[in-house]
């Protein structure tokens, strides 16, 4: 009869080999924010990875972890946004009334007083657009946007002061002052308009810089398109003025005007003038979308003081 194999006394339980990769215990607390929630909607990342994500919904694009107090800036952007819409409404009212007078009334009197209503609406929008950038001068210094807002305010104030000086001087001085200072009074509105347009371009640059700081690359390109459109509108009067001077110099030449010169100048002026409404429409649409998107973006909790 065979004997069982010898086993030494002690623990008789079978030995299991140690695991190759022992499991690591999960960290205490909620898991960090790593991406999209289950619903697939965009979230607002925060500097603290253990803070629950803030879901915005819609088509929001958020690419950075920037935080800061942008409450006043959002207020200013909102004021400019509503002011721009009011200006567009006033201009459309004026254009619609003029077209109605030409075609519906066939040149007869009717609805002329409504033009003043459209002008009043436009003036209210301009005031709102002037006030808005004042609130944007409180952005955090690290964003690098504050100088553009300050320069925009200074240029807008210079534009209004120059126009007010011309109007008040003409009203006080009377016809004699106007006849003696015809050049000053004639170029003051143009210079005032250029200063105002420069202020608008600085504010668009402010919006583009802010969009870059927030990580919104799509809005940066939108600001570039807006700036190009408004730059076209700002340079256009100067180009037309230079062309007009060239036409006059061509006519006054001692040997007579250059053959075909007037036609070339006129063709260039017509071509550039046709681009003005296109640039105005493109600038308006892109500017409105840029303001609306930034206003919505800055409504997130991490941008509130």
On whether the CB atoms of residues 195 and 155 are closer than 8 A, the answer is: yes
Residues linked to residue 44 through DSSP beta bridges, in sequence order: 54
Residue 264 class from Cβ within 10 Å (0-12 exposed, 13-18 middle, 19+ buried)? middle
How many Å apart are CA 304 and CA 143, to the nearest integer?
15
Residue 54 has which token pair? 């803030």
CA nearest to 290, candidates 233, 212, 236, 235: 212
**Per the structure block, which two tokens stand in for 187?**
């170029």
pLDDT of residue 178: 55
- pLDDT, residue 61, reads 46
- Least Cα distance to 132 among 68, 85, 192 occurs for 85
Tell me whether strands 43-44 and 54-55 are parallel, antiparallel or unpaired.
antiparallel
Cα 40 off chain centre by: 29
DSSP 97-149: HHHIIIIISTTSS-SHHHHHHHHHHHHHHHHHHHHHHHHGGGS-GGGT-HHHH
| pLDDT by 10s per residue, the chain, length 305 | 556 665 555 555 556 666 556 666 666 555 554 444 444 444 444 444 454 444 444 444 444 566 678 999 999 999 999 999 999 998 888 888 777 777 765 555 556 667 788 888 999 999 999 999 999 998 988 889 999 999 999 999 999 988 887 777 767 765 555 555 655 666 777 788 889 999 999 999 999 999 999 989 999 999 999 999 999 988 887 777 777 676 666 555 555 555 555 566 667 777 777 888 899 999 999 999 999 999 999 988 888 76
Please give the pLDDT value at position 96.
81
Tokens of 134: 């004042």
pLDDT of residue 34: 45
54 - beta bridge partners?
Answer: 44
* Nearest Cα residue to 229 out of 195, 197, 192, 191: 197
Pick from 133, 207, 193, 139: nearest CA to 162: 193
Q: What pLDDT score does 174 carry?
A: 58
68 touches 107 (CB < 8 A): no
Contact 18, 34 (CB under 8 A): no
Rounded to whole angstroms, the Cα distance separating 140 from 235 reads 33
């Amino acid at each position: 009869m065979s004997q069982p194999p010898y086993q030494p006394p002690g623990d008789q339980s079978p030995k299991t080999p140690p695991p190759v990769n022992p499991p690591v215990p999960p960290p205490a607390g909620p898991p960090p924010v790593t991406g999209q929630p289950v619903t697939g909607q965009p979230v607002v990342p925060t500097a603290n990875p253990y803070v629950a994500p803030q879901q915005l919904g819609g088509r929001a694009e958020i690419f950075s972890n920037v935080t800061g107090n942008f409450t006043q800036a959002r207020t200013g952007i909102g004021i400019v946004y509503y002011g721009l819409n009011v200006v567009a409404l006033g201009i459309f009212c004026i254009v619609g009334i003029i077209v109605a007078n030409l075609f519906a009334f066939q040149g007869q009197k009717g609805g002329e007083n409504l033009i003043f209503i459209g002008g009043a609406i436009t003036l209210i929008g301009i005031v709102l657009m002037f006030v808005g950038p004042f609130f944007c001068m409180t952005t955090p210094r690290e964003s690098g946007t504050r100088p553009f807002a300050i320069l925009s305010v200074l240029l807008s104030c210079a534009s209004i002061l120059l126009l007010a000086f011309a109007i008040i001087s003409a009203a006080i001085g009377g016809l004699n002052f106007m006849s003696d200072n015809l050049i000053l009074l004639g170029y003051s509105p143009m210079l005032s308009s250029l200063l105002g347009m420069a202020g608008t371009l600085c504010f668009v640059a402010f919006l583009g810089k802010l969009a870059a700081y927030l990580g919104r690359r799509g809005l940066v390109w939108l600001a570039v398109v807006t700036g190009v459109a408004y730059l076209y509108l700002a340079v256009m009067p100067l180009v037309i003025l230079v062309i007009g001077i060239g036409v006059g110099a061509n006519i006054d030449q001692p040997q007579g005007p250059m053959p075909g010169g007037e036609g070339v100048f006129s063709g260039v002026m017509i071509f550039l003038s046709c681009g003005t409404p296109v640039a105005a429409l493109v600038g308006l649409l892109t500017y409105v979308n840029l303001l609306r998107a930034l206003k919505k973006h800055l409504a997130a909790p991490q941008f509130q003081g």
